[in-house]
Amino acid sequence: MIYIQLFLSFLQIGLFSFGGGYAAMPLIQEQVVIRHQWLSMSAFADLMTISEMTPGPIAVNAATFVGTQTAGFPGAAAATLGCILPSCLFVTLLAFVYIRCRNLSLLQQTLASLRPAVVAMIAKAGLTILISAFFLDGTFSLLRENISIRMIVWFAGAVFLLRRAKWNPILVMVLCGVCETVFCL
């Protein structure tokens, strides 16, 4: 019975948590703390902290954690499956529709018109990260005391290793992390 409850509770969260992990928090709190009382409010706060720190979507991490705490590995499997099932079904449906309609000129024109917007959003995110890394106060300023020369050197070295030396990106990230840690000691 607990497995069905976990599955159905996280199925609701998966169905109605539009807007990402932070939008799912109130839904998770409603199901986990208020309705089923699987966790206390302080344990829920810990859950959100752990879910944010671990890789992956917050709702999936929360489902796995709550399922494990409530009913062990089978509970984690039931809760996680409930959380991801709506997305899996929706993406499968979209893929089916795309395969059936991919040659329609209207669909191709729509997708082509979205490409510049996607590139712009990725570029904006990249620039925001670069500005927060290169400038000590996180805002663009050409004042010498505001520029982090060390971060610019790490960035230039990483670009060189990735583009010219063709290093593995994970190895470059680890190397940058080690260099920063050693430098800060």
Query: What are the tens digits of pLDDT across the range 150-175?
Result: 999 999 999 999 999 999 999 999 99
Q: What is the mean pLDDT of residues 136-150?
A: 78
Q: What is the DSSP string of 122-140?
A: HHHHHHHHHHHHHBTTSS-
The CB density around residue 132, as the number of other CB atoms within 10 Å, is: 14
Same domain, 38 and 128: no
Per residue in 20-48, pLDDT tens?
777 788 999 999 999 999 999 889 988 88
Residues 109 and 61 in one domain: no
Q: Which residue has the higher pLDDT, 184 or 67?
A: 67
The tally of domains found in the chain comes to 2
pLDDT at 49: 85
Domain boundary among 77, 101, 125: 101
What is the pLDDT averaged over residues 40-60? 87
Residues 92 and 126 in one domain: no
Find out whether 76 and 64 touch, Cβ atoms under 8 Å.
yes
Average pLDDT over residues 58-69: 94
Tokens read off for 50: 């752990």
- Is residue 97 domain-shared with residue 127, that is, in the same domain? no
Q: Are residues 67 and 131 in the same domain?
A: no
Of 56, 86, 101, the residue at which a domain comes to its end is 101
Q: Are 176 and 161 in contact (CB under 8 A)?
A: no
Percentage of the chain modeled with pLDDT above 90: 57
Query: What is the span of the domain harbouring residue 151?
Result: 105-184
Residue predicted with more confidence, 54 or 137: 54
Q: What is the pLDDT of residue 85?
A: 97
**Hey, is 50 helix, strand or coil?**
helix
**What pLDDT, on the 0 to 100 scale, is given for residue 87?**
92
The reply to whether 96 and 114 lie within a common domain is no
> Is pTM beyond 0.75 here?
no
Pair (9, 22) in one structural domain: yes
- My answer on whether 78 and 143 are in the same domain is no
Say yes or no: 69 and 151 in one domain. Answer: no
**Of 78, 101, 124, which closes a domain?**
101
Average of per-residue pLDDT values in the chain = 90
- 127 in the same domain as 96: no
Q: What pLDDT sits at residue 72?
A: 96
Structure tokens at 124: 């904006």
12 and 54 co-located in one domain: yes
Residues 47 and 63 in one domain: yes
> Per-residue pLDDT tens for 93-119?
999 999 999 899 998 999 899 899 888
Contact assessment for residue 91 and residue 15, using Cβ atoms and an 8 Å cutoff: no
